[in-house]
A and B are shown apart, each in its own frame.
Chain A
């Protein structure tokens, strides 16, 4: 305070020639000051020596001593303005009349390049400036001196020398590498102190005092302003109460009086007033009450602190429980047993489980489920007992072995007495159904694709489908009349007239008893299916390359019904009663009318790859089986979509067959089983067909992933023939 007042005083003293005693001034501070200032004001206008930085110096909080020194310096400068040496910052210029121009000019004294000057006066030998010194790493010199001469790199010893130097020299720790000169330079104590300060996060300036007292320049005692700044009279509003304020206050007062505002309302902290009879008036709500949250499961015996011992987990169970994730665990606790209640610890998952419950309450979607309380067995359809649906094949009657090769085709004679079976290696056997005695054996030239017995009762022969040809055989030991009739039928003396459009297939007869009676040649590919029209005059063949031919035996004529077929044909069938023709491609079954030569409908079984189909003797129903294990039952009058889809075989379905007279059908599969179904069709359109599974026949062995390759019913008997990949034909009897 004193110093502040002093500096102020000094301004005054500068104006007044006689310096006053400071003590005196401070004693009569107030009045004197005012006087001084009044004196000062006019004079300060023309006083150009008064310097502005005075305040700046004060605001730069320095020690009082420094301040005093500054003041003294200023004093000197103001007093003795002529002395140049005393003024380092502002060297005075000499005014000299120029010789050349004749004008006066200012000449400044030569600048002494010492520490106070701007330019560094340090005698730096290296004058390269602030450049990365690694530029000179490969050079013998480290820069250039003021005269442009190279400064050679000082001799630097190796690491060992350096180390020894540090050991010898006790002051080595306070030297640092000067990059510019590439030499070790001793640090001065000031520099060390500066480093220490920086290191400790202090102000690097040692003289800086952060806690120096504030200097009150304009406030405080003795500095109060007395005289007004402006002589204007005080406005009225300063002392007249505000009208608007009054209005506002009165508004609040009125509100308080009326009770609209309660000043300092007591806080309602007590719980007493909070609750009341909320359910006293039964107001019917418009909305239905919200779905209550399901209650958590109640604890079972296992959760007891002292459960029966059988509930305690074994060591493996404990490990398994600990090994599984929290979400995957069947129950969220491990049963534990404590011998006394005092030993039961706190449940460590308590809060987590409470929290989990709350997450369930507000995050889990709720669905109202009707819980089915039914016996699961009641879901199984009630069907008539198989015992009441007899006869159907139940046991293996006999087995006819064909050697090791696969049996792909069998056919029973229309009177049910004979069976023709052909294996893949080309042996064709004719044997008796009842006893299983082989009567005759042929060996075909190649692979046999199919065999089929003519359904016509008057003639008695069968066809064998081979690679590119069909061969007609007459079984031996026929009654002579039948034999001659058949022979005449197949190889007539007078050939029927050639049709207008001759087919590429060639029909040739031969009289050699060892050779086939009739051969149709020039077919393409292996004939894999022969399908007879029920009347026994027409038959259709499907080749392995998908070619379909319809042959007429009486006219010895073959024709291809389709110019082009979409997809590869799997199987063809004649409608038993109408001139219709079923063609099964890989995914569809198409029904054509042969007489009108047009497509009637396309059945979509939804099977990926159709393997087989069979038509019910009524012609109104058809079953289609696929390699994807599905069996589809179509009601032709109902829809293009299956009436029923069954999937009961474990592997692909290979073959299906409806019994011509009994209400039975059989399916065979690669799983080695044959399944017998009862399939009854009612004549009134309202009743659905009745399908009852009757029996699973097991007996064939699965070989190379192939099971039972074909099934065929023995006509007139509820007996079933099945040919398997194990080279056996089984006869199943009722």
Chain B
């Protein structure tokens, strides 16, 4: 006889543990358990049968995989947390006794933990890590903008600012920014790094305070993990790009509020062994390409051409190295750099260099970090007044400025020197949205719609919507209907004209032949034989199809309704759910379409009124 199965010894009862059981097993406080879960990325699971998992009880609880908890029990960080608990006791004891030297030496040897192994464990490959840095970036950018308080230390804010700057530097260096969206929540950026789309949200530049209903400890734990993760990811990204990580910070510039410009990108003089290995393959291919180009061009034009090419290459590197610093690039470095460039150029190089021919000047009321980053990421040059911080590469009077990003209403200036006037006429004054819309459109848009003081066209999300959603870009739906009506009118007229001729015969011919393709073919042949031209035949077919299309679906629908009776309840529920979702989407779309129509109607009326007014 087989062994009797005992209750609670197998299956869901064994695979899951409740949170309180887990805490009890690990012998830690709930706060420490939460911290561990955040760091290790352990989240609750939903058992298929809650009652089975909780030994017959249906109390609302959270469940974890028993194995997850078992792994947690061997976590080095857990040991450190316990050590820290002991340390905290010792320290408070020493302080309570007034043993300051003991307290100091204890504090010097405070147990600290590292999260390297957790990073490696959670993200076995680099791609995994890059895929998951969205939240990390959001948090880093948020904390970079927060004021330091007693709970959020200055060092933490500084580190976050530094990481944010490093990320922006890398993105603009690699030209991997793809989409930008100005939303009411903040600015959404989307970049493509290592084939992964990374989206992050940056709040607008205002001082925010951590509200009372937010648990800062949770956020700080996340931040701890995110800082480490981003450190490793950036290290890899920088070294792969042949750059020194961390980029050296010029504290003088930083004090003068140079922002991202305070960091300078440096090429690695002695490339890492591992980095070199990685770059080996593309390097060879790039060289091959250049050599083949050389051989081709040498056949055509000789040595001069090759020199030119090399010069171009150098120019490009100088451009890319956008931080104004004397570049003492030797040919080796250039080679390394070009390999990366050639890699990045494969994908969307046209968009990546969208702003290359342009030079921008930021008016003082626009946000400098936003546009400095965006314009540089797309290859443009940008300058700003001293009030926005130091480090502007050129002055306002610079002749090379093509666009001025300005965000204030247009005011006629009475006292304007000749020089100023000329300058004003040379440059294009555009509102900030133009830059973002150009990026999202992937081309340079007409500046006139975005001119200073003009009402802006709507700013649309580049991320799109679900399929079948309302599309505001579709030119007026009402127009479409009108168009089709007109078309049909024309058709009818034509048909009427034909009516007494061969048209009636044709109609009769087509009427009974539209359903079957074979019959249609036969009808076409007979029509041809009868001397009716092909265009007329096609039109007739379309018309009859249209006419037939309307009544047929009704019986089909009822039939399907009847067939629904025989669906299994599982399928029926699924069907109902899908239909519900569809209906919801449809109502939303129709609502928006209707509102659009109403708005268009109001606009049209206004226009007419204004026309009437102008006439009278």
Known A277-B274, A341-B433, A355-B219; judge A376-B185 contact (CB<8 A).
Answer: no
Instruction: Say yes or no for B408: interface residue by CB 8 A criterion.
Output: yes
From residue 357 to 414 of chain A, which have CB atoms closer than 8 A to chain B? 357-359, 361-367, 372, 376-377, 379-383, 385-386
- Asked if B218 and A305 sit within 8 Å, CB to CB, the answer is no
Q: B109 — nearest CB in chain A belongs to which residue?
A: A265
A416 within 8 A of B: no
Per-residue interface assignment for chain B, residues 444 to 472, with 1 indicating a CB less than 8 Å from any chain A CB and 0 otherwise: 00000000000110111101110001101
The verdict on B204 contacting chain A, using a C-beta distance below 8 Å, is: yes
Q: How many A-B residue pairs have CB under 8 A?
A: 247
Q: A279-B125, A362-B43 are in contact. Are A377 and B560 (CB under 8 A)?
A: yes
Q: Which residues of A contact B455 (CB under 8 A)?
A: 339
Which chain A residues lie closer than 8 Å to B162 at the CB level?
Answer: 271
B174 touches A (CB below 8 Å): no
The stretch that binds A, out of B6-14, B72-80, B131-139, B419-427, is B131-139
When chains A and B are docked, how far (Å) is the Cα of A351 from the Cα of B186?
Answer: 12
Cα–Cα, bound, A644→B567 (Å): 10
B206 touches A345 (CB 8 A): yes
Q: How far is the CB of B178 from chain A (nearest CB, A)?
A: 12
A contact residues around B575 at 8 Å (CB): 376, 379-380
Using an 8 Å CB-CB cutoff, how does the interface string of B323-361 with A read, 1 for contact, 0 for none? Answer: 000000000000000000000000000000000000000
A323 within 8 Å of B by Cβ? Answer: no
Report B158-192 residues with CB < 8 Å from chain A CB: 159, 162, 181-186, 188
**Interface-central residue, A267, A335, A344, A351, by most chain B CB under 10 Å:** A351
Q: Does B524 touch A at the CB level, under 8 Å?
A: no
> At the interface, yes or no: A306 with Cβ under 8 Å from chain B?
yes
Q: Flag if B135 contacts A274 (CB, 8 Å).
A: no
Interface segment among B232-240, B298-306, B312-320: the answer is B232-240
Give bound CA distance, A279 to B465, whole Å.
36
- How far is B204's CA from A305's CA once the two chains are assembled, in angstroms? 12
- Is B407 interfacial (CB 8 A cutoff)? yes
Return the contact of B599 from the options A310, A385, A648 (Cβ within 8 A).
A310
Do B456 and A275 have beta carbons less than 8 Å apart?
no
A306 touching B433 by the CB < 8 A rule?
yes
User: Residues of B contacting A349 with CB < 8 Å?
Assistant: 185
What separation, in Å, do the CA atoms of A386 and B558 have in the docked complex?
11
Interface residues of B in 127-151 (CB under 8 A from A): 128-129, 131-132, 134-135, 138-139, 142
Contact A355 B218 (CB under 8 A): yes
In the complex, the answer to whether B562 meets A304 with C-beta atoms within 8 Å is no
Is the pair B43, A344 in contact by a Cβ cutoff of 8 Å?
no
Residues of B within 8 A of A561 (CB): none
Across the interface, which residues of A come within 8 angstroms of B228, CB to CB?
274
A282 at the interface (CB under 8 A from B): yes
Flag if A380 contacts B44 (CB, 8 Å): no
The yes or no answer to A235 lying at the interface (CB within 8 A) is no
Decide: A365 and B44 in contact? CB cutoff 8 A. yes
B182 x A372 contact (CB < 8 A): no
What is the number of residues of chain A that contact chain B, defined by CB distance less than 8 Å? 80
Contact flag A344-B431 (CB < 8 Å), given A279-B126, A308-B460, A377-B560: no
Contact in complex: A303, B236 (CB < 8 Å): no
Cβ of A560 to closest chain B Cβ, rounded Å: 40
Chain A neighbourhood of B121, CB < 8 A:
285
The answer to whether A308 touches B458 (Cβ under 8 A) is yes
Q: Which of B199, B203, B272, B599 contacts A277 (CB 8 A)?
A: B272
A300 within 8 A of B: yes
Closest CB in chain A relative to B405 CB, distance in Å: 10
Does B516 have its Cβ within 8 Å of any Cβ on chain A? Answer: no
> How many interface residues does chain B have, given as a range?
35 or more
Closest to A385 in B: B559
CB neighbours (8 Å) of B407 from chain A are 340-342
Whether B116 contacts A358 by the Cβ 8 Å rule is no
Say whether A705 faces chain B, with CB atoms less than 8 Å apart: no
A692 CB → nearest B CB, Å: 8
Q: Does A227 contact B (CB under 8 A)?
A: no
User: In the complex, what residues of A have CB within 8 A of residue B43's CB?
Assistant: 361-366
Q: Which of A83-91, A136-144, A176-184, A286-294 contacts B (4 or more CB under 8 A)?
A: A286-294
Does B34 sit at the interface, judged by CB under 8 A?
Answer: yes
B365 contacts A350, C-beta separation under 8 Å: no
In angstroms, Cα B278 to Cα A644, docked, is 64
Known: A277-B274, A289-B124, A355-B215. A379 touches B571 (CB 8 A): yes
- Chain B CB within 8 A of A257 CB: no
Residues of chain A within 8 A of B560, CB atoms compared: 377, 380
**A272 contacts across to B, CB distance below 8 A:** 246
Residues in A neighbouring B432, C-beta threshold 8 A: 341
Indicate if the CB atoms of A304 and B218 lie closer than 8 Å: no
Inter-subunit contact A346/B208 (CB<8 Å): yes
Docked CA distance A221–B449 (Å) = 94
> In this assembly, does A311 line the interface, its C-beta being within 8 Å of a C-beta of chain B?
yes
Contacts of A298 in B (CB 8 A): 188, 199, 461, 463-464
CB distance from A248 to the nearest CB of B (A): 17
Contact with B along A688-701 (1 / 0, CB 8 A): 00010110100000
B122 close to A (CB within 8 Å): yes
Within 8 A of A (CB), among B356-376: 365-367
B119–A278 contact, CB under 8 A? Answer: yes
Q: Is the CB of A299 within 8 A of B120?
A: no
Identify which of residues 377-427 in chain B touch chain A, using a CB-to-CB cut-off of 8 Å: 407-408
Assess whether B543 is interfacial by the CB under 8 Å rule. Answer: no
Q: List 22 A-B contacts (CB under 8 A).
A: A271-B231, A275-B232, A278-B116, A279-B126, A279-B232, A282-B125, A295-B134, A299-B188, A304-B183, A305-B183, A338-B184, A342-B365, A347-B184, A352-B213, A354-B142, A358-B219, A361-B135, A362-B37, A363-B62, A376-B578, A379-B572, A379-B574
Known: A275-B234, A300-B465. 9 other contacts (CB 8 A): A267-B108, A301-B458, A303-B181, A362-B218, A364-B43, A364-B44, A379-B571, A380-B560, A380-B563
Give B contacts to A, CB under 8 Å: 34, 37-38, 41-46, 62-63, 108, 116, 119-126, 128-129, 131-132, 134-135, 138-139, 142, 159, 162, 181-186, 188, 199, 203-204, 206, 208, 210-211, 213-215, 218-219, 222, 228, 231-232, 234-236, 239, 245-246, 272, 274, 365-367, 407-408, 431-433, 455-456, 458-461, 463-465, 469-470, 472, 559-560, 562-567, 571-572, 574-575, 578-579, 582, 592-593, 595-596, 599
